[in-house]
Structure 1
Amino acid sequence: MTTAFAPTPSPTNLPTLPDGWPIGSYDTYSEAQRAVDHLADENFPVQEVTIVGVEPMVVERVAARLTWGRVLGGGAASGAWLGLFVGLLLSLFTPGAGLGPILIGLGSGVVFGLASAAMRYGATRGQRDFVSHSQLVARRYDVLSKPRHAEQGRDLLARLAMRPVDAR
């Protein structure tokens, strides 16, 4: 189903290069997003605008050092949640079972979580003793517009750039 706001997908669904003329260039995605928001506020045809990240790169930010304690604690916690869930399901479908299935599920989950976390971490043999989060970013973000509206878009974005910082 295609909506009025979504472009019609290409018949081959292959990636295509963006088209249009540059009307603004920004250091951060939030600045480019703010520029397009300004264009929308000025009734510019934003359906003809594209934000393009130029020179993309993957940035991996290290969050913490991994230790056996952290690994085993995380494994025990995730195993406990899984075991508690299975135990609750078993207790629901076993008449008169009481807390037995819940406690057995919880204990089994903790043991399984500890064992699987230890095996996974031990298999790395110290090759990756840290936790990180990856992010795709670009050096700059260009705002492109179809040629028929590029001059108007440049003028609107130039006026935005001339505003005092507190008025933005």
Structure 2
Amino acid sequence: MTEQPRRTVATYETHRDAERAVDHLSDQGFPVVPVVPVERVAIIGQAVRLVEQVVGRTDHGPAALHGAASGALPGALIGRLFGLADWTAAGGSPPVRSMQPSRYDVEGDEAVADEAVRLLGGLHATGTGGRPART
């Protein structure tokens, strides 16, 4: 499968708003050309950052007991090796990691991007949020 050149048609602060935009395009029968609807659209997370939330401090004893109880012997040994290195790097505090984009771009294939911008113009007027791309 070859990917077509794409262009940003709108930008949103939340993934939920970007999904609403794609749903709106689908509801409008996008694209007009006879292909499977919305397969010519993608949601792309931009400016991704790694966030580590420290949830507490764990000593080596309770952490080792938890690791041994949570898996089979090979899993516990490998997990403990990687886990021990992680505890050292985190200063003994177990973090919860997540990737968080700062914005979500809705992109459309170049051939249908202008139509997507036009259709999303009505969605922005209803106050859903987001910025349509300039054509």
Q: Per the shorter chain, which TM-score range?
A: 0.5 to 0.7
Q: Which residue of 2 aligns with 1:27?
A: 13
Give the alignment partner of residue 58 of structure 1, picking from 50, 56, 60. 50
Q: Which residue of 2 aligns with 1:135?
A: 98
Q: Which residue of 2 aligns with 1:161?
A: 124
Higher relative contact order, chain-length normalized (CA < 8 Å, sep 6+): 2
1:5-154 → structure 2 map (5 Å cutoff) = 8=1, 10=2, 19-45=5-31, 46-68=38-60, 70-75=62-67, 77-78=69-70, 82=72, 121=84, 126-128=88-90, 129-154=92-117
In the TM superposition, structure 1's runs of 4+ consecutive aligned residues that sit over 3 Å from their partners are 123-127
Post-superposition Cα deviations, 1:80-133, rounded to whole Å, max 9, x if no partner, equal xx59xxxxxxxxxxxxxxxxxxxxxxxxxxxxx7xx96xx64x77854311222
**Secondary structure of the equivalent of 2:111?**
helix
Aligned partner of 2:66: which letter? G
Identity %: 30
| Larger Rg belongs to | 1
Gaps of 5+ in 2: 32-37, 129-135
**How large is the Cα RMSD of the aligned pairs?**
3.3
TM-score relative to the length of structure 1: 0.54
Distance 1:75 1:57, change over 3 A: closer
Distance 1:151 1:134, change over 3 A: same
CA distance in 1, matches of 2:22, 2:107: 10
Gaps of 5+ in 1: 1-7, 11-15, 84-112
- Going by fraction, where is helix more abundant, 1 or 2? 1
CA distance in 2, matches of 1:125, 1:48: 44
